[in-house]
């Protein structure tokens, strides 16, 4: 339903469209009458000026008679009246056209405003009536669609996530909320893997804040920038949210701005040695999720990691199983390629561990029982921690 304030606004619009144009036409008609009067007076003043000049110079020139002057003036005055009547007729026609146009336009305008208000209400309802499974950054099951995977939470315009270690709420806009779909545009939606990576960073900050605090972090394949924003909120000094897709980067930067994550910035990065040199030895920590589903990109991804990572730096990479993908085989294959370009796996008990345990061991602590079932049904989740050799 259109609100009262909107109705008042529409009534003001009616005044603008109808009353003001009519007043303007009326004003111009008055001006025409004043102009006619001025021309009438000017004619008489001119006649008397001629007579005065004649007597002053005492010259014998032809003095037009009153009859001659009046006859000439009457002819001109009649012509002027005819012109005025013609103009008045045009004015009345213009006024009628303005009235008809205003009356025709105004219902269409009201219809447009009503539809706009309805769309806004539906959008707000979509955000506020979040399905129970999607609330608080919930993890839900996915289904395969042509070219990608889909899940119900991707239909939401935006989603919210709570960082337990800082009590910060992150609001993420999704590019899939306008029914454009996710096929071919995977970076504009929040995926389960990104949610899990964000929870994992939050849990790391609770138990071992020195891993993230004050560090320079680079996220590869940032998508909506959820994990990058989280890293900034968790105390990183600088966060580079990188992706190769301009549409994704625009969305990432909007999300960064709306969450006031001033330490984060979206930046373009195509995987491979050449482009990675723009960030050479930049990162204390590299983060990423669900990047290894295509074996053809493994080497370029690993080369980017080893180029960007500082000596002594860490890669925290998380991947989830999907229908048709073997998460164990996928991760093992990528790890072998990474070792060939100069990276190595970090084992538990190293200075990258949390309380002497591996980072992967934190995963059960960030999933509820229903979410564990969803993850297990799709092949499980794995975390790979890498460092330079």
Same domain, 65 and 16: yes
Same domain, yes or no, for 237 and 278? yes
- The mean per-residue pLDDT over the stretch 146-165 comes to 88
Q: Do 88 and 172 fall into the same domain?
A: no
Question: Into how many domains does the chain fold?
Answer: 2
Same domain, 19 and 145: no
Q: Which residue has the tokens 């007076």?
A: 41
Please check whether residues 122 and 184 belong to one and the same domain. no
Here the tokens at position 289 are 């999720």
Q: Are residues 270 and 344 in the same domain?
A: yes
Which residue segment(s) compose the domain that 195 sits in? 133-388
88 and 207 part of one domain: no
Same structural domain, 151 and 294: yes
Please say which residue of 128, 157, 175 terminates a domain. 128
Report residue 328 as tokens.
């164990």
Q: What is the pLDDT of residues 56-66, one digit of tens each?
A: 444 444 444 44
Q: Which of 353, 362, 337 is nearest to 385 (CA)?
A: 353
Above 80 in pLDDT, residue 235? yes
What whole-number distance in Å separates Cα of residue 353 and Cα of residue 357?
5
Q: Is the dihedral of CA 175, 180, 181, 183 positive or negative?
A: negative
Q: Measured between alpha carbons, how far is 99 from 26 in angstroms, rounded to an integer?
A: 13
pLDDT score, position 351: 55
pTM exceeds 0.85 = no
Looking up residue 213, the CATH number of its domain turns out to be: 3.40.50.150
Same domain, 163 and 120: no
Mark whether 96 and 152 lie in a shared domain.
no
pLDDT digits (tens, 9 = 90+) for 291-327: 998 999 999 999 999 999 999 999 999 999 877 677 8
pLDDT tens across 212-222, in order?
A: 999 999 999 99
Contacts of residue 17, defined as CB under 8 A and 6 or more positions apart, other chains included, come to 102, 105, 106
Is residue 251 within 8 A of residue 224, CB to CB? The reply is yes
Last residue of a domain, one of 87, 113, 128: 128
Looking at the fold, whether 51 and 140 belong to one and the same domain comes out as no
Tens digits of residue pLDDT in 69-111: 445 544 555 555 555 556 656 666 666 665 656 556 656 666 6
Indicate whether 333 pLDDT > 90. Answer: yes
Whether residues 123 and 142 fall in one domain: no
Q: Which of 128, 155, 188 is the last residue of a domain?
A: 128
């Amino acid at each position: 339903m259109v609100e009262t304030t909107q109705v008042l606004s529409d009534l003001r619009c009616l005044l603008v469209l109808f009353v003001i144009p009519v007043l303007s036409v009326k004003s111009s008609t008055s001006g025409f009458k004043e102009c006619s009067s001025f021309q009438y007076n000017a004619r008489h003043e001119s006649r008397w000026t001629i007579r005065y000049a004649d007597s002053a110079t005492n010259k014998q020139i032809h003095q037009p008679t009153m009859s001659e002057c009046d006859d000439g003036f009457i002819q001109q005055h009649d012509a002027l009246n005819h012109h005025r009547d013609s103009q008045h007729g045009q004015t009345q026609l213009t006024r009628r056209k303005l009235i008809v146009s205003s009356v025709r336009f105004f219902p269409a305008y009201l219809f447009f405003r009503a539809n706009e208000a309805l769309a806004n209400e539906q959008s707000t309802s979509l955000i506020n009536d979040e399905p129970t499974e999607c609330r608080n950054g919930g993890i839900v099951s996915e289904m395969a669609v042509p070219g990608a995977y889909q899940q119900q939470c991707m239909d939401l315009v935006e989603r919210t996530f709570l960082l337990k270690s800082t009590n910060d709420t992150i609001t993420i806009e999704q590019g899939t909320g306008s029914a454009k779909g996710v096929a071919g545009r995977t970076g504009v939606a929040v995926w389960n893997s990104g949610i899990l990576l964000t929870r994992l960073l939050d849990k790391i900050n609770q138990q071992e804040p020195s891993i993230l605090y004050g560090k320079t972090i680079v996220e590869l394949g940032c998508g909506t920038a959820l994990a990058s924003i989280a890293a900034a909120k968790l105390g990183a000094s600088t966060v580079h949210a990188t992706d190769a897709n301009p549409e994704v980067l625009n969305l990432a930067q909007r999300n960064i701005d709306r969450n006031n994550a001033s330490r984060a910035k979206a930046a373009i990065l195509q995987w491979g040695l050449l482009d990675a040199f723009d960030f050479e030895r930049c990162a204390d920590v590299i983060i990423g999720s669900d990047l290894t589903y295509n074996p053809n990109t493994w080497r370029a991804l690993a080369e980017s990691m080893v180029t960007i990572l500082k000596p002594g730096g860490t890669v925290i990479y998380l991947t989830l199983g999907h229908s048709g993908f073997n998460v164990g085989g996928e991760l093992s294959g990528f790890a072998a390629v990474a070792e060939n370009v100069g990276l190595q796996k970090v084992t538990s008990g190293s200075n990258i561990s949390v309380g002497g345990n591996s980072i992967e061991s934190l995963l059960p602590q960030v999933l509820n029982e229903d979410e564990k079932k969803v993850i297990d049904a799709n092949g499980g989740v794995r975390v790979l921690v890498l460092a330079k050799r």
